[in-house]
Amino acid sequence: MSFGGPQWPQQPQNQQQPFGGQPPFGSPQPPSQPQQPFGSGGQTPDWGALADASAARARRKRWIMIGGGALATLVVGAIVATAVVAGGDDPVANGKNDGPTTPASPTDSPEPQPSFSSVAPPPPPNPKDFISNEAKDKAPISPDSLFPGKKLTMSGRAYQKGATASTTNCASVGQAGLGEILKRNGCDRVIRATYVKDGVAITVGVAIFSTEAEALKAKAQAKGGIAPLAGAGVKEFCRSTVCLRRANAVGRYAYFTQAGFTNGKKVTMKDTPIFKASDDLGNFTFNQIYARGRQQASAAATAPAGQ
């Protein structure tokens, strides 16, 4: 059958006559007289001629559609060609070509690509390295830099600062043998500060050595305690009574605390304020010493190469 034309009717499944008593649809009989126009006088139409005419019309319609499509294609092509010509000079020569470019030949030089070093950057300086040896620990130190301000607050507890002191005579600031231990292990200097809160007084002493090994040895051998520092509104304390003494070290610094009651009362294991005060001052001192290391490590990390 022709593309797009009507399909020829199929034979009916039953043998009933079509409405009007004509032969079954699809089985026309030869006419016994000249063909009459369809629908006139009740004559049977020429079904074959009608089918041929329908197929012919379908073929003409198809060719018209094909011809129209070809014509539309030619028109679009002409419009595009006209647009290119109307654009002026050669668009490639004028740098106006936005279309795909020709791939570079093997002789063309490729665009430079960023390069990355395969060498890992050095790790940041360790703060502890700067507070463990006097060759690196060059930052200034004093009672005011180590114990700044007029008070400190730890864990919500505020302590008022009393007297401060600094000496290179390490043996003179120890009690019951501590002074001699500091001197024997190479102590260079001792900085002290006293704090008070609610009738409790605490003196902290920071002994500075040349190396970490010296500080650790002084801590391990420690006995007695740091001499209490009175003054600046704080009376004498821990002279002839029992007080809480502790020792610790970080880097080339060994630090000692002595805490007691300002009224001379003997300290017992039940006196929680004394232990809390000793903990607070010990933690504060550790943080201050370690902060020196962080500051110097940070400065070294940002310093220009060669300095």
pLDDT in tens, 229-266: 999 999 999 988 999 999 999 999 999 999 999 999 99
DSSP class of 172 = G
Asked if residue 238 and residue 143 are part of one domain, the reply reads yes
| 195 Cβ neighbours under 8 A, 6+ residues apart | 151, 152, 159, 160, 161, 162, 201, 202, 204, 277, 281
- Among the three residues 30, 60, 90, which one is the final residue of a domain in this structure? 90
Task: Check whether 275 has a pLDDT greater than 50.
Answer: yes
| pLDDT given at position 53 | 67
Interval 18-44: pLDDT, tens: 444 444 444 444 444 444 444 444 455
| 139 Cβ neighbours under 8 A, 6+ residues apart | 292, 295, 296
12, part of any domain: no
Asked if residue 137 and residue 214 are part of one domain, the reply reads yes
| Domain boundaries, position 52 | 40-90
Task: Check whether 205 has a pLDDT greater than 70.
Answer: yes
Instruction: Tell me the mean pLDDT in the region 123-133.
Output: 88
31 close to 85: Cβ distance less than 8 angstroms = no
46 to each of 10, 11, 43, how far by Cα in Å?
A: 17, 17, 9
180, part of any domain: yes
Structural domains counted in the chain? 2
27, part of any domain: no
Asked if residue 133 and residue 74 are part of one domain, the reply reads no
Asked if residue 175 and residue 294 are part of one domain, the reply reads yes
DSSP class of 110 = P
Asked if residue 222 and residue 78 are part of one domain, the reply reads no
